Amino acid sequence: MEVLPLVALVAGSAVVAGAARWTRVPAPLLLVAAGLMAAYVPGVPSYALDPHIVLPLLLPPLLYTAAVDSSYLDLRANIRPVALLSVGYVLFATVAVGYVAYLAVPALSLPVALVLGAVIAPPDAVAATAIARKLGLPNRITTILQGESLVNDATAITAYKVALAAAVGASAGWAGGIAEFLLASVGGVGVGLVLMVPIHHLRKRLREPLLQNTLSLLIPFVAYAAAERVHASGVLAVVVVALYLGHRNWQVDFATRLQEEAVWRMVAFILESVVFALIGLQLPVVLKGLAEYEGWDAAWYALVVFVAVVVARFVWVFPATFVPRLSERIRTREPDISWKSPVVVGWAGMRGVVSLAIAFSVPISVPHRNLILFLTFTTVIGTLVVQGLTLPPLIRLLRLPQRDAQAETLAEAQAQNEASRSAEDRLAELLAEPENALPPPLAERLRTVMERRRNAVWERLGEVNPVTGESADDVYRRLAREMIAAEREVFVHLRDDRRIDDEMLRSLLRRLDLEEAAAYREEAA
């Protein structure tokens, strides 16, 4: 791709994603709609998805950032529903949707229909994470959806390879398919386990934040490439490494964490925006090869496959949710579940760019490749638009329990109180040693900073200002930031008057930026 179209794609995607923050529409849906409209604007170049770019270059960083932000402990606590969805459901959907397509579309043989089923079986990691973030779903549902989307791509890609081998007459039978699945899954996890400890060790030893962040950007590509090199699942390797590093991120230098968070937020924003815009921009490419099929027939096939995808998810989700709960052990270990949760999980099965990338990788020699590509595209668009637009009102209609902000703030305050007590004890021990002697004002400053951290969370639970509606902590932060802004203006005037140079200005502004960043992070939380 030439430089100018690529820059235009990134810039246009970022603008639309930024505009989505001012609307109630999730950014992925707005980006897809913008891509569909832009596809036929005169002068817009053709953006055909290249699976050799999407799978090894776009998928690893998107999976990595989603997995790093996930909770290893929450995923472990919900491993049963996550496994049932990420493995069981994907295999079920491959067979069920493939068989429906075989019955509904006369042109498709059963092996080719199973290729289609495998392509559109996995809900998309990026779509699930982006929609869940926007909607503020209950924590357990969000964990299950994110966990499913992190692993299901590996299952789908393996199922696709087995179905493709059958479609082109190179199948080694069920035994060969099972062996390939085990190699991909066990091998991917194994590669991740081998890489995660030395990578984390290297991250702890590096003291230069720029080098640390360079390493961080390389990690998902290294894990993916290493696994694919031995014919294992690169997806699982990336997820395993990312979960381990995210769980132990507290052991890395604070400067690295601050910088790394900013870098990955930018990378995720750009890649997610580009990915959803690319989905919409595929329309001309997909329709170009559909000439051999009549319009109404193609529309009917698309509707049947879309309905099969939606129904198959509910057919799997409800039994997978309630049948295991016949076991008393599972009922005791897991919280009670109402019928509302599987309804949301069932309706949240949006497809995305991975399905399209796999569809584009179907060899030209496979019969009716263009029809597979078209049905994949319509299913992706259908699930993103229909389910994505109706999911927010569905959640409001079901009145799912929202996260208890008051209880979370109280738990945060209690945790901070315990940490502050430990810090006070440690400070007393250190100040008692001769080599740590400090003038009383400096020692008192340490105690004041510690006390401020302890009180900040409790103050969010206190009474609000009757005039502004702010808590005492809100007013404190607002006034502190106003003071920082006043200091910043003075520093700039001093630089403009040549009383300090630019290097000193940057040093002074960095100190203020760190203080303001701390205040902003508390406020955003």
Q: Could you read off the pLDDT tens digit of each residue along the chain, which spans 525 residues? A: 578 888 999 999 999 998 888 887 778 889 999 999 998 888 888 887 888 888 888 889 988 998 998 888 889 989 999 999 999 999 999 999 999 999 999 889 999 999 999 999 998 866 666 666 666 677 788 889 888 988 888 889 888 988 888 887 765 566 667 787 888 889 999 999 999 999 999 998 888 888 888 999 999 999 999 999 998 999 999 999 999 999 999 888 877 888 888 899 999 899 989 988 998 898 888 887 776 676 788 899 999 999 999 999 999 999 999 998 888 888 888 777 888 889 999 998 889 888 988 998 888 888 888 899 999 999 999 998 898 888 888 888 888 776 666 676 777 778 878 888 888 888 888 888 888 888 888 888 888 877 877 777 666 666 666 777 677 777 877 888 888 889 999 999 999 999 998 888 888 888 888 877 776 654 444
CA 219/CA 222 separation, integer angstroms: 5
Q: How far is CA 385 from the centre of its chain?
A: 19
Bridge partners (DSSP) of residue 464 are: 471
- 494 Cβ contact list (under 8 Å, min separation 6): 500, 505
Please check whether the domain covering 3-403 is classified as CATH 3.30.1360.70. Answer: no
**Domain boundaries along the sequence of the chain:** 3-403, 405-461, 479-525
Secondary structure class of 516 (helix, strand, coil): helix
Q: How far is CA 282 from the centre of its chain?
A: 22
Q: Please state the φ and ψ torsions of residue 464, each to the nearest 5 degrees.
A: -100, 155
Helices 110-119, 90-104: axis angle to 10 degrees equals: 130
Q: Please state the φ and ψ torsions of residue 12, each to the nearest 5 degrees.
A: -65, -40
- Written as six digits, the tokens of 92 are 């079920």
